[in-house]
Amino acid sequence: MSDILLYAGIVVAIFVGYNIGGATTGPAFGPAVGANVITKVAAAALMSVFFFIGAWTIGPAVVDTLGNDLITDSDIFTLEANVAVLFFIGGALFIGNYAGVPASTSMTAVGAIAALGLATGELDTAVAGEIALWWVVAPVIGFWVSGVVGRYFYPQINAWVAIEPNRDGDPMIAMDRSGLLPTIRFSEGASRRKSSGALIVVAIGCLMAFSSGTSNIANAIAPIYGAGGLELGPLIIIGSIAVAVGAFTIARRTLDTLGNDITNLPLTAAIIVAVISSTIVILLSAMGIPASFVVVATMSIVGLGWGRATRTTTLPDAAKGEETAVSIGALTADEEGEQLPEIGEEDTTDIPRASDLFDPSTTARVILMQNVVPLISTAAAFLTFRFVPFFGF
């Protein structure tokens, strides 16, 4: 019976890893895909490689945190309980991925594990409270830092970077397989500055994938490892392969959502989002907090889009002697070498609507689902472990 439960647990862990790949590929490479720097296939490949590197190097520390620190007595991690926990995690994440919204794997997983501890009276409330506090603070920091950058500093940064993505042409970076060995090929007409910027945004996406591996591998394998079913090394390999499958398949929906639907990201904006969100995630991981990677990255995208959409200027009306507040669309003028003006000096002709830069309805759907999915996992796990006699708690 224990062997059957172990195999069942591994299958469910693979399902969780599959959905982690679908949920985290979008925040890492959505900006690069949305700016047409790389293809979805290339994003999935890079996600797979760098997720595994992060999982293998730093991931074991986070596995230990979820397996030991959050729960005061690891004996409650029975094989039966582990299968149920992983089922709730995978099922909730699948709902988010199916809706095209990348839900937080850390919030979903920690919620299910915490529900097990709460139902059995073995939850370390101090650890859970610290994690929950940072989950609230970190996205707010990401949103406001990105919003401030988008509203006040984006024109200057864009003038330094001055990169325009090829939205209607081929991706800026692609693999050339015409020779004996595949090589990196840049799109025709790409300047050195554009090529450098494209490499930067891809490199930062790889860093975010690495950060995701350090924190999210635990969400798939920590319960199985805590029960002593398998050694950590094979579990990391199994979980990483499952993540890769999810990155190549279901992640296409979340890549569309974060790359195109929320906000129209030029390459400069993609770099800003990646820098801010990856920095926050790395700091959280260094503190030993299971990072809410998806929420931080998503709120950084939302913050930058909001900041750019609400950027205003006051222009004196020569006839009336009054000042008029105008939403500035010059933030989308990413022509190479163009020096964007300071606030108060913009050309107000041909200004797009704020909705062209920032989609409130899509944003509301994303934020709603990112909170609903963890709640589904947590509530279902608690009710099951508290009231179903099968688990013996």
Q: Domain residues for 147?
A: 2-391
For the chain, what is the domain count?
Answer: 1
- pLDDT given for residue 144 in this prediction: 93
| pLDDT recorded at residue 65 | 77
Per-residue confidence (pLDDT) for residue 188, from 0 to 100: 62
Query: Which pair of tokens denotes residue 165?
Result: 């993505």
pLDDT per residue of the chain (393 residues) written in tens, 0 to 9: 467 777 888 888 898 889 888 878 887 787 778 777 888 888 899 999 999 999 998 888 788 877 777 888 777 777 778 788 888 888 877 777 777 666 677 788 888 888 888 888 888 888 888 888 988 899 899 999 999 998 888 888 877 765 555 555 667 776 666 666 666 666 665 566 667 777 877 888 898 899 889 888 888 888 788 766 678 889 999 999 999 999 999 887 767 765 555 445 566 776 787 788 878 877 877 777 787 766 787 788 788 888 887 765 444 443 444 333 333 333 333 434 444 444 444 444 433 444 444 556 666 666 677 678 788 888 888 888 888 776 655
At residue 169, the pLDDT reads 62
Q: Report pLDDT for 175.
A: 63
Residue 191 has a pLDDT of 63
Quote the CA–CA distance of 257 and 287 in Å, as a whole number: 30
State residue 180's pLDDT score: 64
